[in-house]
Amino acid sequence: MTIAAVLTAAGSGSRLGHALPKAVVPVAGEPLVVHAARALLAAHAADGSRVTQLVVTAPEAMLDEVAALLGPVVDDAPEDVRLDVVGGGRTRQESVAAGLSELEDGVDVVLVHDAARPFAPPALVARVVDAVHAGHPAVVPGLPVVDTVKRVGHGDAAGRPVVETVPRADLVAVQTPQGFDRDVLERAHAVGWGRAAHEATAASDDAGLVEATGVAVWVVPGDERAAKVTTARDLLVAQALTTGDRA
């Protein structure tokens, strides 16, 4: 099977509190998007297949800069990789759709990954691909939820009432990369396109779009290293972890 990856890197990262767009904020001397791309291209499935096309969605004003950052990563990949850098949309869903429109003919499996999860290890990427190859058309990595989770109702200025305590044994926190049969993902985006333009309605992940079409989504074990970088504190933690890895 031929594998492509759509790497979303178009967000402003306003919650990060950094002057740069999130994807180009450096950690351990390299931008987040570079770390994320390197992991995608380093992974190989059980049958030896690798990502052969990398589509990156970036801010319109930074397309050339992001392409220049990723050029050496692509050149160092174990096999030839086509790189496409395209403008992102108003929402993550629009950005992924823009990436899907660039896929080459012959791509069978699509990974969708967030540059905001820069340290997802290659073994995690391979685990997702292997599950798609095994016959699951939609696959997400997930970690068990360790906190007690409560569903709350509408409240007032003082707080919100608890409606129920949700059994956490049935819950996982999902990560990226998520993997899909190409046809399944493209159909889900086509069906859900009406939601894409506004943050209030857009899908927060591609598995949600696929679920809405009635296709079962399979969960494989996630990895704590695939944590999302959203806030300034997350950035500090990521920096500390990478420093520890090099020690």
CATH assignment of the domain containing 147: 3.90.550.10
Which residues, including other chains, have CB under 8 Å from residue 37's CB and lie 6 or more apart?
A: 7, 54, 56, 70, 73, 74, 115
Across the range 189-201, mean pLDDT stands at 93
- In this predicted structure, what is the pLDDT of residue 236? 85
CB 218 within 8 A of CB 227: no
Structure tokens at 72: 């050496």
Does the pLDDT of residue 164 top 90, yes or no? yes
**Which of the four pLDDT bands, split at 50, 70 and 90, describes residue 189?**
very high
* pTM for the predicted model, two decimal places: 0.93
Cβ proximity of 176 and 112 under 8 Å: yes
pLDDT at 246 > cutoff 60: no
pLDDT-derived band at 15, boundaries 50, 70, 90: low
Q: Indicate if the pLDDT at residue 244 is higher than 60.
A: no
Mean pLDDT, rounded, for 201-221 = 96
Mean predicted confidence (pLDDT) in 124-150:
97
Considering only residues 165 and 13, tell me which one the structure prediction assigns the higher pLDDT: 165
Q: What is the mean pLDDT of the chain?
A: 93
What is the domain count for the chain?
Answer: 1
For residue 25, give the amino acid letter.
Answer: V
Domain residue limits at 233: 3-246
Cα dihedral 246, 12, 124, 237 sign? positive
Average the pLDDT over 19-37 and give the result.
87
Read off the pLDDT band of 1 (50, 70, 90). confident
